[in-house]
Amino acid sequence: MQAKSVEIYAFHTRRITYDSYMQRTREELEKLQPHYPDMINEVIDLTDHSRNLIFNMSLEEATELVASGDPEKIATIDGHFAIMARHGHIIRMARSLQLPMRYFIVKKVAGPALLIAERIDQIRGWLESHGFGDQFHPSYTRMVPAHHLTEIALVGCPDPNPVCTRFFNPPRNVEENNYPEKYIAALTSSISNWLNIIPEHEPIGVLFSGGIDSGAVFLATHHVMKTRGMNLARLKAFTLSIEGEGEDATQAHEFLSSLDLELFHEVITAPGSWVDLETAVKTIEDYKPLDIQAGAMTLALCRGIRKQYPNFTYLIDGDGGDENLKDYPIEENPELTIKSVLSNQMLYQEGWGVDAIKHSLTFSGGLSRACTRGYAPMTHFNFRGFSPFMLANVIEVAEGIPFIELTDWDHEKLYALKGKIVSQGIEAVTGMHMPIFEKRRFQDGAAKERAFGNSPTPYRKAFHRAFDC
């Protein structure tokens, strides 16, 4: 990480530079603690450790790697994780793309405390129940950015700046050939690892629209289960239809019928009243219109699945596929150009980066922020969700694809690329010829008419109402 020349104030009276600070804190904090009571003296961890899905080691082993503070060691953790570890008086937090993780500095008479949680309302609830409700505001919460180790050495006066160090840094434009097969091979490998930790009798539901991402996830899951001799009756493809309408249900049926797999399909019909802006904002804890709209539809789908199958637990989705293959309409976002999309590492996954002016401490950027649009609705209805496209091994292959060479900076070539890569990869890995349909957002395909407008004002107002701010 590049050293910064800015000066920070630590230990009340001692002025040191940023780079020397990081060199010294780990050795000196233990010695200085008795003399400087404003350091962290209490950590409250409200996260659900069972939400971690780690494939290659135990949670305890992964926690030790986070505690080490070594980015290269943290990068070896395979799976979805959000982990806090304490090393002396240094608190270290690290998470992958799917799981959210937030923190809050609590001002207590006995000394400051660090409160760590998955959600903003968890932080608020703890503060209010312990007599610190007057300290709460959603803008005071902080989100750990995905793919970064976040370290907090001390709190007090002044409050510390968290130090973020990247632990996942995939090389770009390195795949010369066979990248469609490599991409889907990485996807199937991750799904296989996930299936290893699921009880053999448990059913598996795919959130399925018949689009490229959910289609690839379904076919990859079906392939892995069939290859390994698993009971395919466990597998279902759930498609949402609001009031029995929407194009996704028809598309999903056509997709599966073309492969003689329609027996796996189940349409979840939901009333329009289930698509609710206020509920979605409270659940997702955000106010970005497109993410709230997608989250509202996921809430309706999960609600319908839970009503139909009270004991269902495991869901898998295609979230992250658009980000990996850069398949968003650039012309709809005035902040973006094709050069910014293709030139910035993991722009859609991480936003403009933790060092950018546009970066928010309350919300991280890109999918690192928007991961809640799928995760929060599934968790709300007590499902255990899995998003294999968000895993590091899958993203690594995607980042290695030579997008600039393949598109020559052409929008239309970029938009057409995703279908070609995924369909070729699916055929190479599974032998199945995957149908490709025109891209359509979840909120547009699940209903006949849009339930929400795109003006950001109602979403921000709903967010303010949710947190009384």
222-245: pLDDT as tens digits = 999 999 999 999 999 999 999 999
Question: Per-residue pLDDT tens for 275-287?
Answer: 999 999 999 999 9
Q: Which residues of 40-78 are buried (b: 16+ CB within 10 A; e: fewer)?
A: beeeeeebeeebbbbbeeebeebbebbbebebebbbebb
Strand-strand pairing, 113-117 and 102-106: antiparallel
**pLDDT value at 110 more than 90:** no
Q: What distance in Å separates the CA atoms of residue 439 and residue 257, rounded to the nearest whole number? A: 19
C-beta separation of 256 from 283 below 8 A? no
pLDDT of residue 451: 74
Q: What distance in Å separates the CA atoms of residue 373 and residue 319, rounded to the nearest whole number? A: 9
For residue 361, the tally of other CB atoms under 10 A from its CB is 14
C-beta separation of 443 from 450 below 8 A? yes
List the chain domain ranges. Answer: 7-166, 179-466
Average pLDDT score over residue span 150-159 = 69
**pLDDT value at 16 more than 60:** no
Structure tokens at 366: 């890109």
Arithmetic mean of pLDDT over the chain: 90
Q: What are phi and psi of 461, to 5 degrees?
A: -65, -40
pLDDT of residue 42: 85
Confidence tier at 9 by pLDDT (50, 70, 90):
very low
Top-confidence residue, 299 or 152 = 299
pLDDT of residue 437: 95
Confidence tier at 32 by pLDDT (50, 70, 90):
very low
CATH number (3.20.20.60, 3.30.1540.20, 3.30.460.80, 3.40.50.620) of 179-466 reads: 3.40.50.620
Q: Which amino acid is at 55?
A: F
Top-confidence residue, 376 or 152 = 376
**pLDDT value at 78 more than 60:** yes
pLDDT of residue 158: 52
% the chain with pLDDT above 90: 81
Top-confidence residue, 146 or 26 = 146
**pLDDT value at 31 more than 70:** no
State the DSSP H helix or E strand holding residue 385, giving kind and residue range, or none if neither.
strand 384-386
From the number of C-beta atoms within 10 Å of its C-beta (0-12, 13-18, 19+), residue 281 rates as buried
Helix (H, G, I), strand (E, B) or coil at 374: helix
Say which range, 32-41, 216-225, 294-303, 447-456, has the weakest mean pLDDT. Answer: 32-41
> Cis (ω within 30 of 0) for the bond into 171?
no
Closest among 98, 185, 139 to 427, alpha carbons compared: 185
Q: What distance in Å separates the CA atoms of residue 121 and residue 285, rounded to the nearest whole number? A: 8
Top-confidence residue, 111 or 137 = 137
pTM score, two decimals?
A: 0.90
C-beta separation of 223 from 188 below 8 A? yes
> What is the DSSP annotation of 156-223?
SSSPPPPEEEE-----SS---S-HHHHHHHHHHHHHHHHHHTS-TT--EEEE--SSHHHHHHHHHHHH
C-alpha torsion sign, points 36, 38, 41, 43? negative
